[in-house]
Amino acid sequence: MSIDQGQTIPPGSTIGILGGGQLGRMAASAAARLGYKVHIFCPDKYSPASEVAAATTVAAYDDESALRAFAEAVDVISFEFENIPASSTAFLAALKPTRPAPHVLYLTQERLREKNFLASINVPTTRFLEVGRPEAMPQAVQTLGRPCILKSANFGYDGKGQVRIDPETNLNDAWARMGADLAILEAFVDFSKEISVVIARGVDGNTAQYIAVENQHRHHILDVTIAPARVSEMVAQRAEAIARHIAQELKLVGLLGVEMFVTDNNEVLVNELAPRPHNSGHWTMDACVTSQFEQFIRAVCGLPLGSAERHSDATMKNLIGDEVYQWREILADPGAKLHLYGKTEARPGRKMGHVNRLTLRNN
Binding site members: 111, 151, 156-162, 186-189, 194, 217, 271-272
Give the C-alpha separation, 356 to 285, whole Å: 8
* CB contact at 8 A, 212 and 308: no
Whether the link from the prior residue into 147 is cis, omega within 30° of 0, is yes
Q: CA separation (Å) from 339 to 77, 140, 272, 345?
A: 25, 44, 26, 16
- Going by the annotation, the residues of the binding site for ATP are 111, 151, 156-162, 186-189, 194, 217, 271-272
Give the C-alpha separation, 113 to 31, whole Å: 32
CA dihedral 266, 272, 276, 282 (to 10 degrees): -50
What count of Cα atoms within 13 Å lies in the side-chain half-sphere of residue 70? 34
For strands 37-42 and 55-58, give the pairing.
parallel
